[in-house]
Amino acid sequence: LHLLGLSEILAVVGVIASLVYLVSFFGIAFVQSIVSCHDEEDEFLLSAPLGDCRRAAGIRREALRRITGRALEGLPLDGFDYASILGQCCELPVGYVQLPVGVAGPLVLDGREHYLPMATTEGCLVASTSRGCKAIAQSGGATSVVLRDGMTRAPVVRLPSARRAAELKAFLQEPNNFENIALVFNRCSRFARLQAIQCALAGRNLYMRFSSSTGDAMGMNMVSKGVENVLGYLQNDFQDMDVISISGNFCSDKKPAAVNWIEGRGKSVVCEAVIKEEVVKKVLKTNIPALVELNMIKNLAGSAVAGSLGGFNAHASNIVSAIYIATGQDPAQNVESSHCITMMEAVNGGKDLHVSVTMPSIEVGTVGGGTQLASQAACLDLLGVKGASLESPGANARRLAAIVAGAVLAGELSLLSALAAGQLVQSHMKYNRSAKDSPKLPPE
């Protein structure tokens, strides 16, 4: 009967659907091929012929259970729109991870209020950021400036000699050539506008760091397309140019690199506030000289001692990661997006505290990637920056970058205050250590 059923299915939906059938009823080898198959094949094998992404995820999960003997209990299957990630966000889905989203704020920034969605499992983080927001709000709010806005991609090409690589560099830097190159580059999207090409040589290899505005998209795909256009165009004049890779790591994406820290990548933002003495005392439970000294010895000198690259802060990455995950950003870009120098000084005759964060590489978008998924779009909506800005393309993404910097400012204020007041361990024991984690000690 099974064989009969199989041949019927073969006749109707072909070899692909028959594999699905076999997964359900027969050999482990088929099960393994379904689980480990390549992403495009998978769409073809399961989601496409089934026309039901949820069912495909269920079959994949059952296959995994048969191979591993583990049922993935606790990893939910239902309650997620698998069609929304097909061909866009995640291949071979078998479920989804649940993460709590807390809300901090309101953050008063440039005269507007924002409630900050933060996806995290670190106790204290949301509460602490909220305390920083309260200190900022009670002092009249923070202000931000977006200093530059440009995503980068740097292909590497090899020429027959270093002299020839230098000729290409000179060609790219000739203003007339740049105009033509920009025309070719900008064809990749109505939102892309080439700003600059920064060149570096290593022997006969040339690294060209293209920088472009990308509207409300984070922009990696857009800029990569533009770079591809330009490489094709350059090949006309430099037929001896060998394209080694569309990305030569001088971009630099998802890796610590001085080029991002110094030149910036994505949005470069500075955010500042003047915190009143009584707020430092009542809300932050410390005093201005203690904060200024701690910032100097820890964030500046301490990070210098550690040989830090862009890490002149207390915990920018905590806030960046939580907001990135909540709003559908690429969390791997936390590496350079968290570059931050925190400055603190006493002002107004020592009565107030001037605090600022300078973050040169905030890589965010409000369209593309994971931003269109329901949960992430809801969080962007809460911030008032969902989707494309119709009046001024790019304005939503820039605002999101400013909010990230404002949230980091709040986080820095609160954590440094806790450290200055010696409260860190107590508050973590209260909010970040559940009774379940504690070993049961015998009564004394």
Give the whole-angstrom CA distance, residue 198 versus residue 216. 23
- Look up 73 and say whether it is catalytic: no
Nearer to ligand ADP, 49 or 393 (CB): 393
Q: Is 150 an interacting residue with respect to ligand ADP (CB under 6 A)?
A: no
CB of 335 to ligand ADP, least distance (A): 17
Interface region with ligand ADP, contact rule CB under 6 A, candidates 18-26, 211-219, 280-288, 307-315: 211-219
Of 206, 232, 216, 231, nearest in space to 151 by CA:
216
- Look up 149 and say whether it is catalytic: no
- Look up 330 and say whether it is catalytic: yes
> What single-letter amino acid sits at 138?
Q
> What single-letter amino acid sits at 302?
G
Q: Is 284 an interacting residue with respect to ligand ADP (CB under 6 A)?
A: no
Task: State which of residues 42, 43, 149, 216 lies at the interface with ligand ADP (CB under 6 A).
Answer: 216
Q: Is 149 an interacting residue with respect to ligand ADP (CB under 6 A)?
A: no
Which sign, positive or negative, has the C-alpha torsion 68, 74, 75, 76?
positive
Q: Which residue bears the tokens 């997620």? A: 80
Token pair for 431: 């909010």
Burial class (CB in 10 A: 0-12, 13-18, 19+), 370: buried
> For residues 331 and 321, is the Cβ–Cβ distance under 8 A?
yes
> What single-letter amino acid sits at 90?
C
- Look up 39 and say whether it is catalytic: no
With residue 108 as reference, give the H or E element that holds it.
Answer: strand 101-109
CB of 172 to ligand ADP, least distance (A): 23
CB of 316 to ligand ADP, least distance (A): 22
Give the 3-state DSSP-derived string for 116-171, with helices as H, strands as E and coil as C.
EEEECCCCCHHHHHHHHHHHHHHCCCEEEEEEEEEEEECCEEECCCHHHHHHHHHH
Of 171-190, binders to ligand ADP (CB under 6 A) are: 189
Give the contact letters, 349-388, x = binds to ligand ADP (CB under 6 A), - = no. ----------------x-xxx------------------x
Q: Is 217 an interacting residue with respect to ligand ADP (CB under 6 A)?
A: yes
Nearer to ligand ADP, 217 or 400 (CB): 217
CB of 213 to ligand ADP, least distance (A): 9
Total residues in contact with ligand ADP, by rule CB under 6 A = 17
Footprint on this chain of ligand ADP (rule: CB under 6 A): 189, 191, 215-222, 365, 367-369, 388-389, 393
Q: Which are the catalytic amino acids? A: 122, 254, 330, 428
